[in-house]
Amino acid sequence: MKNIDIEERVAKAQRLFKEEGYNCCQAVVLAYNDLFGIDDDTAASMSSGFGGGMGRMREVCGSVSGMVMLAGLIAPAKDPSIKVDRTRNYALVQEMADSFKAINGSIICRELLGLTPIGSGNVCSKESPEPSDRTAEYYKKRPCEELVGISARIVGEKIAEMDK
């Protein structure tokens, strides 16, 4: 893989989220899809359902889901019979999730948004599938732009590590 400017990728992910309106998963995936020969439309489509903690169910943070999707491209495990590839992929997923959790305390959307206490395991009431309008108030009360940047940085650092 080629040398990448991690800070440029972080800024791109945050811009895609805040200025262009992509969800958190899409923003992280679209910050790196070009490295893997995946066009923007395909990347945006395949990652679209993971926003809002998977379709606004507030489960795993969409930016973490974006990292996991990219882990499948960084350390692919295409053939299920090749256990070493699956192990390497799962290890990468766990490392990235652990890095995110060390910074944020959780990988769960509802906890990151303060809808339930971190580690409580409580499930909040079901939300409408309709995405929230992206207003100034929306951005003021949500840490999503920052979380997208954190996930994009973790991905960039893992790619740089593997290039060594």
pLDDT in tens, 17-56: 999 999 999 999 999 999 999 999 999 999 999 999 999 9
Q: Which domain does 60 fall in, by range?
A: 6-163
State the total domains in the chain: 1
- In this predicted structure, the answer to whether residue 143 has a pLDDT above a threshold of 70 is yes
pLDDT the model gives residue 46: 98
Task: Note whether 6 and 160 are within 8 A (CB).
Answer: yes
Q: Which of 86, 118, 83, 121 is nearest to 102 (CA)?
A: 118
- In this predicted structure, the answer to whether residue 77 has a pLDDT above a threshold of 80 is yes
What distance in Å separates the CA atoms of residue 101 and residue 84, rounded to the nearest whole number?
A: 25
Share of the chain above pLDDT 70, in %: 95
- Neighbour-count burial of 108, counting CB atoms closer than 10 A to its CB (0-12 exposed, 13-18 middle, 19+ buried): buried
* 10 found inside a domain: yes
**Choice between 115 and 51, residue whose per-residue pLDDT is larger:** 51
- In this predicted structure, the answer to whether residue 13 has a pLDDT above a threshold of 80 is yes
Task: Note whether 149 and 67 are within 8 A (CB).
Answer: no
* 1 found inside a domain: no
At 96, the pLDDT band (50, 70, 90 cuts) reads very high
Residues 6+ apart with CB under 8 A from 1: 35, 159, 162, 163
Task: Note whether 152 and 25 are within 8 A (CB).
Answer: no
Is the overall model pTM greater than 0.75, yes or no? yes
* 51 found inside a domain: yes
* 100 found inside a domain: yes
135: amino acid identity, one letter: T
pLDDT the model gives residue 118: 77
